[in-house]
């Protein structure tokens, strides 16, 4: 019976932490800096924390559900499910690389995949799809024009993430809370 109470307590604690991280992801998403072609945000921080604590599933849930919460609380445009799935995929990748590793090469690899493959190419497909007009010419040309416009954002966000994630993971390892022990 005692073991069952421990599992319930851990489940409730996990749900509470995940809810707080989702809310933090939504709030940090609202505090992003926008220019015509660049969007800088720290909303990756709760996703990386969830990925480190709970693996790929935790990172995917916080990223995906945090995006939905952000769309409800602070809609910038219409909610588009493929973009939410793309965010969830980023959370999954962070979890796969950072759940058990804090080495800088795992950070660089996870950031490289999430920024240069998922954000730059996959998210741009959805953005191009949403904003494409047949009068703009062929879709593939329109898409690669959008990719070119988003390269600087990808480079800037990659640098920010590579600078912030390693000290954040190190700090999580030093904090002696039951929350941060695996």
Task: List pLDDT tens digits, range 94-151.
Answer: 999 999 998 999 999 999 999 999 999 999 999 888 888 877 788 888 899 889 999 9
The answer to whether residue 17 scores a pLDDT higher than 60 is yes
Give residue for tokens 């599992």: 7
Shortest CA distance to 47 belongs to which of 62, 67, 69?
62
Rg from Cα positions in the chain: 18
Q: Which domains does the chain have, with CATH numbers?
A: 2-180 (1.10.1760.20)
**In the numeric block, which tokens belong to residue 90?**
């980023």
Mean pLDDT, range 31-56, rounded to an integer: 91
pLDDT for 53 equals 92
**Cα 44 from Cα 91, distance rounded (Å):** 9
pLDDT for 135 equals 77
Q: The pTM is what?
A: 0.88
Per-residue buried b or exposed e for 127-160, using 16+ beta carbons within 10 Å of the residue's own CB:
bbeeeeeeeeeeeeebbeebbeebeebbeebbeb
Give residue for tokens 């390892």: 173
């Amino acid at each position: 019976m005692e073991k069952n109470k421990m599992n319930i307590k851990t489940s409730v604690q996990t749900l509470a932490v995940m809810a707080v991280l989702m809310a933090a992801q939504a709030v940090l998403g609202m505090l992003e800096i926008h220019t015509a072609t660049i969007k800088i945000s720290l909303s990756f921080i709760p996703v990386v924390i969830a990925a480190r604590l709970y693996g790929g599933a935790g990172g995917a849930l916080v990223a995906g559900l945090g995006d939905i919460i952000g769309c409800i609380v602070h809609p910038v445009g219409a909610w588009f499910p493929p973009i939410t799935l793309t965010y969830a995929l980023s959370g999954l990748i962070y979890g796969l690389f950072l759940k058990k590793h804090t080495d800088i090469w795992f950070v660089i690899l996870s950031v490289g995949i999430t920024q240069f493959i998922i954000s730059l190419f996959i998210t741009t497909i959805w953005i191009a799809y949403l904003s494409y007009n047949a009068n703009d010419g062929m879709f593939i040309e329109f898409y690669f024009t959008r990719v070119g416009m988003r390269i600087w954002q990808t480079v800037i966000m990659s640098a920010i993430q590579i600078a912030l994630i390693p000290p954040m993971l190190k700090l999580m390892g030093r904090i002696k809370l039951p929350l941060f022990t695996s």
